[in-house]
Structure 1
């Protein structure tokens, strides 16, 4: 369960990435039925901590705060800077006691210095993945993905990917409904899958034609329909090859992967909000049968639809 979150900072912290953690976990949204988390910022020294952009922030709690945390957030830190020994010790002690850690951007280097990336899949901002791999050869660095959940250690790419990872944590703890409500308050998409590419070839088409946004909205509203590339390409008035290339350029994933993720997301919502049989939900979201739904659901979420319903049903 997620109830207590601490953001760990020391000199050189990037304020925007720290803000990502504060926005995702520190804002009180209980007026919308979203659980309020016990959130604080802590560090090895109390008082002013220098940021990477020339101003300081005031830290009022020490490293002992990590002993209470379910999740420890590590914002972007200096990649080449020395990680204080007491920070490493406190992180390792917290993980030994069961806390999860989540880095944003170059915060992964702090985890690497602590040895927490050894033997684990991980990522960071695409500009730094090679450096991360060279400095921590025992880590399995996966370039370009948005975030990696390696159990107790979650690593994410740039600032927006940090929000995706945070929503992933909310979803694991409280289900799709709460995660979507958090995203809605932050005015961001409900959640991009971790395996989506960090770097999108072009966010807007080179011509003046509208983007694929309207088609994506139509897909979400018609998940039970056949949504193969040929069908979608006809609707977009493109050849299948051009459509597939354009879709990946604008979204970072294939049409099939994007449609599958939307079907899983809708299945989560129906599992939480209705008592309908899994077979009915499978047909409603376009998977056709319960076996196919179970396959994709378990691959993406790591649990069966029935297990998910037991945990998160309203």
Structure 2
């Protein structure tokens, strides 16, 4: 019997190799200061049969779905083909195993299109969830009863957690490590995996949009100019004048190139600057607010709370990497 948190990763035919490797890598590198592993991670398949990955090679896990009967967390890796994404159905053995694990209190997660499997098992009915933006329309067609949010990196709905595509699975797994064992161990796992330790779930997915023609990419210089002046008041008029455009033209081209309005972009940069200062310096909150362009300590608290749901002092205490 192990005292480690037990994780069962479910692999089905068409499994995406990256999604299969993400939980084993992140949970597998979550260790305390003494180097002791905090999770025991194993992969399972239906009846312990080999599965063919989306890359064409086979995976023999060595465990069947009985692994889910004792797991503390069950993770369903994404699939690129097969019944879940084509017909919205899943092998009854998989559905039964997932429902049983959830019913006894296990945490159930999915990475990318693994959300199709959870939805096909009926676990996401009337629950918030996400998946890879590329598959969002198909997901809505198959599972209209799910409250899909395709714009975020992951959704934590307590006992059911879903992530967007590929790299967002890393964010979700690190989020889970942070919940289970704290930021220090999550940050250590991130460093071992050479990935950023923190991206909040509400951050937007990088959705594919038509790129503007090179001649239209005309706000980059003004964005660079603004980044050097985040601590100063910057109006839309001043930014438009720097780009030598009318406010209307500047706003339209800025949104075409970045996907957000100038005001929204400027706030995002200032919050990111404040977060970096909180993580890397011991500056008082008032100074952080001033240097990031958020004005007062009250303004910093307001924007940080609305963006990531924590106060500056809590953010520094929780996410500061020593």
The residue aligned with 2:194 is 185
Paired position in structure 2 for 1:59: 61
Q: How much has 1:228 moved relative to structure 2?
A: 4.1
Q: 2-side partners of 1:99 and 1:49: how far apart?
A: 24
TM-score, normalization by structure 2: 0.72
Aligned to 1:196: 204
Aligned to 1:119: 126
**CA–CA separation in structure 2 for the residues paired with 1:290 and 1:15:** 45
- Classify 1:149/1:214 alpha carbon distance in 2 versus 1 (closer, same or farther; 3 Å): farther
Give me the whole-angstrom Cα distance separating, in 1, the residues matched to 2:36 and 2:235: 39
Q: CA RMSD in A?
A: 4.3
Determine the structure 1 residue equivalent to 2:237: 230
Q: How far has the Cα of 1:9 moved from its partner?
A: 1.0
SS in structure 2 of the partner of residue 309 of structure 1 = helix
- After superposition, the Cα gap between the structure-2 partners of 1:202 and 1:82, relative to the gap in structure 1 and judged at 3 Å, is closer
For the 8 Å contact 2:76–2:117, the answer to whether it is kept is no
Match of residue 295, structure 1, among 299, 302, 321 = 302
Q: Distance in 2 between matches of 1:98 and 1:214?
A: 53
Aligned equivalent of 1:305, options 291, 312, 317: 312
Deviation of 1:112 after TM superposition, in Å, equals 0.8
- Distance in 1 (alpha carbons) for counterparts of 2:177 and 2:156: 13
**Superposition deviation, residue 160 in structure 1:** 4.7
**1:203-218 to 2 correspondence within 5 Å?**
203=211, 205-208=212-215, 216=223
- Counterpart of 1:18 in structure 2 is 20
Task: Answer yes or no: is the 8 Å Cα contact 1:244–1:254 preserved in 2.
Answer: yes
Provide the residue aligned with 2:43 in structure 1. 41
* CA drift at 1:162: 4.2
Q: Deviations over 1:174-231 (max 9, x none)?
A: 28x9399659935x8974873536534333x302576766655555554323344333
Question: Gaps (5+ residues) in structure 1?
Answer: none
Q: SS of the counterpart of 1:154?
A: strand
- SS of residue in 2 equivalent to 1:226: coil
Shift of 1:304: 2.4
CA shift digits 1:75-109 (9 cap, x unpaired): 23531264234433443454456654443332211
**In 1, distance between residues paired with 2:42 and 2:280?**
32
Partner of 2:78: 75
Q: What's 1:8 paired with?
A: 10
Q: Classify 1:232/1:70 alpha carbon distance in 2 versus 1 (closer, same or farther; 3 Å).
A: farther
Contact 2:113-2:135 within 8 A present in 1 as well? yes
Q: Residues 36 and 11 (structure 1 numbering): CA distance in 2 closer, same or farther, change over 3 Å?
A: same
Contact 2:13 2:79 in 1 (8 A): no
Q: Is the 8 A contact 2:125 2:146 kept in 1?
A: yes
Pair 252,55 (structure 1): closer, same or farther in 2 beyond 3 Å? same
Query: Number of aligned pairs?
Result: 310
Distance in 1 between the 2:256 and 2:141 partners? Answer: 29
The answer to which of 297-306 and 33-42 deviates more is 33-42
Q: Is the 8 A contact 1:12 1:50 kept in 2?
A: yes
2:124 is paired with a residue whose SS is coil
TM-score w.r.t. length of structure 1: 0.74
The secondary structure found in structure 2 opposite 1:45 is helix
SS at match of 1:137: coil
